[in-house]
Structure 1
Amino acid sequence: MTTFESTIRQINYPQQNVYNKLSDLSNLQALKERYELMKDTMPEEARQQAEKIKDMTFDSDSLSVNVPPVGSIRLRIVDRDEPKCIKFESEQSPIPFNFWIQLLPVTATTSKMKLTIKAELNMFIKQMVKKPLQEGIEKIADVLQMIQY
């Protein structure tokens, strides 16, 4: 099992607020709409990265996205440990993996977050995906850190 972890991120919102927003994936609809309104004002590099993600759909428990050249990926929440952790499992992916968001309180008004991906990778595949997966998990952490909870 290969593990990829994000750096620990400071979130300027209480742990419970962050958990409440992220544990119901339908809350991401507002983020998607906000991106559509703001994309013309974003830096070029950030906009190019965001536009690589296609056909994002979600409901309260699952998220589907098409990421060229990887293809379609579908994640489902398989465990919620309020307010500490949200665990996901890939349902559709070229490489089966688990993903989780860990949340810990720092103060009454701030928290910290770490993202983890675990995947069964042979040595050949591991060498090919190591850098893109590590960069990807950091970019996801960047986005989650910027959300208003």
Structure 2
Amino acid sequence: MDTYESKVVTIVRNDQEIFDFISKFSNFTPFIPSDKVDSWTATEDTCRIKVKGIETGLKIIEREPFKTIKISGDGAPIDFSLWVQLKQVGEKDTKLKLTIKADLNFMMKALLKNKLTEGLDAMADHIAMVFNKS
């Protein structure tokens, strides 16, 4: 499996507050853009999304309170896992990093390497923006 990592972003919240929110897929429902997504369903541990006729899902396979959330694909076309890592370094200073481990063939690696890293960076930035905004 190949590993792709986001940049580290800073969130002006404590790790427990961030963890409690992002460790439940059902909390993401208000943020799903209905104009871009055909369907979205979520529980605390799983979610299913359909975009442009393609449906896939995610499931949380492990939670280490206030530190790590491990997510795997559930019906995804490739075998992968996504880790959300948190590290509190001050009272309201938590670092977040996203890591994807994916089993990609040579052709997929060539096509997706930069896009995966860019996507992870954009996701990390967006998570930080949402938490730092309020």
For Structure 1 versus Structure 2, the TM-score category normalised by the shorter chain is 0.7 to 0.9
- Rounded to whole Å, the distance in 2 between the matches of 1:52 and 1:127 is 27
1:133 aligned partner, one-letter code: L
Cα deviation digits, residues 22-79 of structure 1 (max 9, x gap):
11121112334xx67xxxxxxxxxxxxxx5544232111112223448x322110000
Q: 1:88-127 to 2 correspondence within 5 Å? A: 88-127=71-110
TM-score (norm 1): 0.79
- Identity across matched positions, percent: 33
1:128 aligns with 2:111: yes
Query: Can you give the 5+ residue segments of structure 1 that lack an aligned partner in the other structure?
Result: 37-50
Report the equivalent of 2:44.
60
Question: Offset at 1:106?
Answer: 1.6
Change beyond 3 A, Cα 1:98–1:139: same
| Number of residue pairs matched by the alignment | 132
TM-score (norm 2): 0.87
Runs of 4+, deviation exceeding 6 Å: none
Report the equivalent of 2:27.
27
- Rounded to whole Å, the distance in 2 between the matches of 1:102 and 1:62 is 19
- Aligned alpha-carbon RMSD (Å): 2.0
- Rounded to whole Å, the distance in 2 between the matches of 1:65 and 1:136 is 17
Secondary structure of residue in 1 paired with 2:74: strand
More strand by share: 2
Change beyond 3 A, Cα 1:52–1:126: farther
Report the equivalent of 1:48.
none
More helix by share: 1
